[in-house]
Amino acid sequence: MDKKELTCGLIGCGNLGTALINGLIDAGVPAKNLTATRRHTEALAPLKAAGVAVTSDNRWCTERARVVILSVKPYNTDLILNEISAGIDPKHHIVVSVATGIDTARLAAGLPEGTPIFRAMPNTAADVGQSLTCISHLHAGPSEIDAVNTVFAALGKVIFIDEELMDSATVMGACGIAFVMRFVRAMVQGGIEIGFDARTAGAIVQQTVLGAATLLADGNAHPESEIDKVTTPRGCTIAGLNEMEHHGFSSALIKGITVSFEKIGR
Ligand SMILES: NC(=O)c1ccc[n+]([C@@H]2O[C@H](COP(=O)([O-])OP(=O)(O)OC[C@H]3O[C@@H](n4cnc5c(N)ncnc54)[C@H](OP(=O)(O)O)[C@@H]3O)[C@@H](O)[C@H]2O)c1
């Protein structure tokens, strides 16, 4: 679908919603095609200045948009569905929810029968066009899938998954940003201990993480084969790596992921 034809409404434009709108504008969606809502609209002044329609009227937002994205906190979702449902035309609108833990069956219960419904789990890297967004859907055909793919492909990479994996996707993609950030911070702290100022250590870690990710993404490499390339027998890399493993490096990460997953399911 042509991005210029996309009309999109963001209901509940807070942290993630703002990242999504900024990503869409950067990707070439005209600002005039976008509508953003929240109750305290003064916080949306920068979007208004960029040409986005800003309002606290969620119904007006649905009138202006084909793709309606609900980006409120999960506990506000039912209230919003109740508010907009009467204005949703299943033949025209597409409803997308990014709320954690709200499944498509619950969304369908609050919308007219047959409304194409999507659950999307992006992450905050949408702000810089580098989100990983996992998407599942209900009652959607090729044209609706194409429209929603256009929205989230503008913000980074998209993977369509079965809905039963959506909680796992939340942990890996959305919580994953925090896991990687903590890894980065720890590596910077180590760099400072061995002589760098925080700024230089930060620059080294950022580029090293980006380089490692690019080796995997563009070079189609496997992590272990890249590790083999840099671990000289009796060398410093293998010594450091094994010391980390003795302290439970991989195990801590795997356990953290499974605990996050258990918490989400409760
Ligand atoms: N942050 C992430 O990385 C991430 C990733 C994936 C999914 N999610 C999901 O995305 C959703 C939003 O997260 P967030 O971090 O962006 O939260 P947030 O910053 O709190 O944004 C939610 C916004 O909803 C607005 N709102 C509340 N009631 C409203 C109403 N009746 N009408 C219109 N707007 C209303 C609030 O603004 P006002 O108070 O001004 O109305 C607030 O700015 C959550 O469901 C979360 O689970 C987040």
Report how many helices (DSSP H) and strands (DSSP E) the chain contains, helices first: 12, 8
Substitution candidate for ligand 1 out of 21, 68, 72 with most atoms within 8 A of CB = 72
Domain boundary pick from 123, 145, 161: 161
- Do 30 and 107 reside in the same domain of the chain? yes
Domain boundary pick from 139, 161, 183: 161
Ligand 1 within 6 A of CB of 99 = yes
Among protein residues, the one with the nearest Cα to ligand 1's atom 18 is: 14
Q: Ligand 1 centroid to 191 CA: how many Å?
A: 36
- Do 208 and 91 reside in the same domain of the chain? no
In the numeric block, which tokens belong to residue 29? 């969606």
Q: Ligand 1 centroid to 14 CA: how many Å?
A: 5
- Spell out the SS3 assignment of 134-200: EEEEECCCHHHHHHHHHHHHCCEEEEECCHHHHHHHHHHHHHHHHHHHHHHHHHHHHHHHCCCCHHH
Secondary structure (DSSP) of 204-238: HHHHHHHHHHHHHHHS---HHHHHHHH--TT-HHH
What is the helix (H) or strand (E) element at residue 121, kind and residue range? strand 117-121
Cβ–Cβ contacts within 10 Å for residue 108, how many? Answer: 17
- Do 90 and 187 reside in the same domain of the chain? no
| pLDDT at residue 265 is higher than 80 | no
Ligand 1 within 6 A of CB of 151 = no
| pLDDT at residue 266 is higher than 70 | no
pLDDT tens digits, one per residue of 26-62: 889 999 999 999 999 999 999 999 999 999 999 999 9
Name which of 1-5, 15-19, 112-116, 138-142 the model is least confident about: 1-5
- Do 125 and 21 reside in the same domain of the chain? yes
The residue segments making up the domain with residue 228 are: 169-265
Amino acid at 149: N
Whole-angstrom distance, CA of residue 262 vs CA of residue 154: 31
Q: Ligand 1 centroid to 16 CA: how many Å?
A: 7
- Do 39 and 136 reside in the same domain of the chain? yes
Substitution candidate for ligand 1 out of 35, 39, 75, 78 with most atoms within 8 A of CB = 39
- Do 198 and 110 reside in the same domain of the chain? no
CB 122 within 8 A of CB 156: yes
The enclosing domain of 118 has a CATH number of: 3.40.50.720
| pLDDT at residue 15 is higher than 80 | yes
- Do 194 and 237 reside in the same domain of the chain? yes
Q: Which atom of ligand 1 is nearest to the CA of 18?
A: 16
Place of tokens 């940003």: 177
pLDDT tens digits, one per residue of 195-243: 999 999 999 999 999 999 999 999 888 999 999 999 999 999 999 999 9
Q: Ligand 1 centroid to 103 CA: how many Å?
A: 17
Domain boundary pick from 108, 136, 161: 161
Number of domains in the chain: 2
Ligand 1 within 6 A of CB of 47 = no
Ligand 1 within 6 A of CB of 14 = yes
- Do 252 and 151 reside in the same domain of the chain? no
pLDDT tens digits, one per residue of 165-192: 999 999 999 999 999 999 999 999 999 9
Whole-angstrom distance, CA of residue 146 vs CA of residue 181: 32
Ligand 1 within 6 A of CB of 84 = no
- Do 107 and 201 reside in the same domain of the chain? no
- Do 51 and 150 reside in the same domain of the chain? yes
The enclosing domain of 249 has a CATH number of: 1.10.3730.10
- Do 183 and 258 reside in the same domain of the chain? yes
Q: Which residues fall within 8 angstroms of residue 125, CB to CB, at 6 or more apart?
A: 131, 132, 156, 177
- Do 86 and 207 reside in the same domain of the chain? no
Phi-psi region of 21 (alpha: psi -120 to 50; beta: other; left: phi over 0): alpha
Task: Name beta bridge partners: 157.
Answer: 132
